[in-house]
Structure 1
Amino acid sequence: MTLEQIFATRAARLKASEIRELLKLLDQPDILSFAGGIPDPSLFPAEAFAQAFAEALTPSRQAQALQYSISEGYLPLRRWLAAHMGTLGVPCGTDNILITSGSQQALDYLGKLFLSPGDTALVGWPTYLGALAAFNAYEPEYDRLRIGSNRSAADYMAQAEVAGGRVKMAYLSADFANPTGETVDRAGREQLLDQAEAMDCAVIEDAAYQALRYDGDPVPPILALEIARKGSVEACRTIYCGSFSKTLSPGLRVGWVVASQAVIRQLVLMKQAADLHSSSINQIAIHSVAERLFDSHVASLRAVYQRRRDAMLDGLARHMPDGVTWTRPEGGMFVWLTLPTGLDGADLLARSLETVKVAFVPGRAFFADGSGANSLRLSFSCASESMIEDGMKRLGALLRDAQAGR
Structure 2
Amino acid sequence: MTTQMKFAARMDRMKASEIRELLKLLEQPGMLSFAGGIPDPALFPADRFAEAYADALSPARQAQALQYSVSEGYLPLRDWIAGRMAGLGIPCGPENILITSGSQQALDYLGKLFLSPGDTALVQWPTYLGALAAFNAYEPRYERLEINDNRPAAEITAAAGDGAVKFAYLSPDFANPTGRTVDRAGRAALLARAEELDCAIIEDAAYQGLRYEGEEVPPILALELTQKGDLDACRTIYCGSFSKTLSPGLRVGWVVAGAEVISRLVLMKQAADLHSSTINQMAIHQVAKAGFDAHVSGLRAVYGRRRDAMLRALAAEMPEGVEWTRPEGGMFVWLTLPERVSGAFLLEQSIAKEKLAFVPGQAFFADGTGGNSLRLSFSNSSEAQIAEGIARLGRVLRQALGE
Pair 1:313–1:153, CA change in 2 (3 A): closer
**1:363–1:373 contact (8 Å) kept in structure 2:** yes
Of 195-204 and 21-30, more deviation after overlay is shown by 21-30
Counterparts of 2:11 and 2:400, CA distance in 1 = 37
Q: Matched residue of 2:121: which SS?
A: strand
Q: Tell me the residue number matched to 2:70.
A: 70
Whole-Å separation in 2 of the counterparts to 1:204 and 1:14 = 21
* Match of residue 187 from structure 1: 185
The answer to whether the 8 A contact 1:56-1:285 is kept is yes
Aligned to 2:48: 48
Alignment equivalent of 1:371, drawn from 369, 372, 377: 369
Mark the CA change 1:117 to 1:175 in structure 2 (over 3 Å): closer, same or farther.
same
| AA matched with 1:352 | S
Residue 160 of structure 1 corresponds to 161
> How far off is 1:152 after superposition?
8.6
Match of 2:224 in 1: 226
Residue type of the alignment partner of 1:86: A
Is the Cα contact below 8 Å between 2:34 and 2:357 reproduced in 1?
A: yes
Gaps of 5+ in 2: none
2-structure distance, mates of 1:401, 1:283: 49
What are the equivalent positions in structure 2 for 1:15-34 lying under 5 Å apart? 15-34=15-34
Correspondence list, 1:212-291, <5 A:
212-291=210-289
| CA shift for structure 1 position 29 | 2.7
The 1:23/1:271 distance shift into structure 2, 3 A limit, reads: same
Distance 1:178 1:155, change over 3 A: closer
| Paired amino acid for 2:376 | L
Distance 2:158 2:215 in 1: 31
Contact 1:205/1:239 (8 A) holds in 2: yes
Amino acid at match of 2:18: E
SS of the residue 1:252 aligns to? coil
Residue 14 (structure 2) aligns with: 14
Q: Is the CA contact 1:358–1:391 (under 8 Å) kept in the aligned structure 2?
A: yes
Partner secondary structure for residue 171 of structure 1: strand
Query: Per the alignment, in what secondary structure is the counterpart of residue 143 of structure 1?
Result: strand
Aligned-partner Cα distance in 1 for 2:391–2:155:
45
Q: Which residue of 2 aligns with 1:135?
A: 135
Mapped pair 1:91 → 2:91? yes
CA-to-aligned-CA distance 1:376-396 (integer Å, 9 cap, x gap) = 000000100011011111111
C-alpha RMSD of the superposition: 1.5
User: Cα gap change, 1:265/1:384 in structure 2, threshold over 3 Å: closer, same or farther?
Assistant: same
Contact 1:208 1:242 in 2 (8 A): yes
After superposition, give the CA deviation of every residue in 1:5-52 in whole Å (9 maximum; x if it has no partner).
410000111000000001112222311100010100000000000000
Name which of structure 1's ranges 300-309 and 1-10 shifts more when overlaid on structure 2.
Answer: 1-10
Shift >4 Å, 4+ stretches: 1-5, 149-155
2:247 maps to a residue whose letter is S
| 3-state secondary structure, aligned to 1:6 | coil
TM-score (norm 2): 0.97
Question: 2:205 maps to what in 1?
Answer: 207
SS at structure 1 position matched to 2:354: coil
- Paired residue for 1:115? 115
Of 308-317 and 24-33, deviating more is 24-33
Structure 2: how far apart are the matches of 1:147 and 1:86? 27
User: Structure 1 length normalisation: TM-score?
Assistant: 0.97
Query: Is residue 174–residue 181 contact of structure 2 (8 Å, CA) maintained in 1?
Result: yes
- 1:150-178 C-alpha deviation (Å, 9 max, x unpaired): 79999745x422xxx21000000000000
Amino acid across the alignment from 1:144: R
Q: Post-superposition shift, 1:282? A: 0.2
The answer to whether the 8 A contact 2:240-2:253 is kept is yes
CA contact (8 A) 1:119 1:160 kept: no
Q: State the match for 2:60 in structure 1.
A: 60
Unaligned runs of 5+ in 1: none
Aligned residue type for 2:360: P
Query: Which whole-Å deviations, capped at 9, do the CAs of 1:57-107 have from their partners, x for residues lacking one?
Result: 000100000000000000000000000000000000111000000000000
Partner of 2:342: 344
Deviations 1:311-366 (A, max 9, x none): 00000000000000000000000000000011000000001000011110000000
Deviates more, 1:21-30 or 1:285-294: 21-30
- C-alpha separation in 2, matches of 1:340 and 1:108: 35
Secondary structure of the residue aligned to 1:147 is: coil
Q: Deviations over 1:250-283 (max 9, x none)?
A: 0000000000011000000000000000000000
Instruction: Please give the alpha-carbon distance, in whole angstroms, between the structure 2 residues aligned to 1:160 and 1:291.
Output: 46
Is contact 1:174–1:184 with CA below 8 Å preserved after alignment? yes
Sort the Cα spacing of 1:25 and 1:167 in 2 relative to 1 into closer, same or farther, 3 A. Answer: same
One-letter code aligned to 1:124: Q
Identity %: 71
Q: Secondary structure at the match of 1:349?
A: helix
CA 1:267–1:3 in 2, change beyond 3 Å: closer, same or farther? Answer: farther
Aligned counterparts, 1:299-338, within 5 A: 299-338=297-336
Paired residues, what number?
A: 401
State how far apart, in whole Å, the 2-side matches of 1:24 and 1:228 are: 46
Aligned partners of 1:330, 1:268: CA distance in 2, in Å? 35
Aligned to 1:387: 385
Letter in 1 for 2:227: R
Give the drift of 1:114.
Answer: 0.2
**Structure 1 equivalent of residue 351 of structure 2:** 353
Paired residue type of 2:110: L
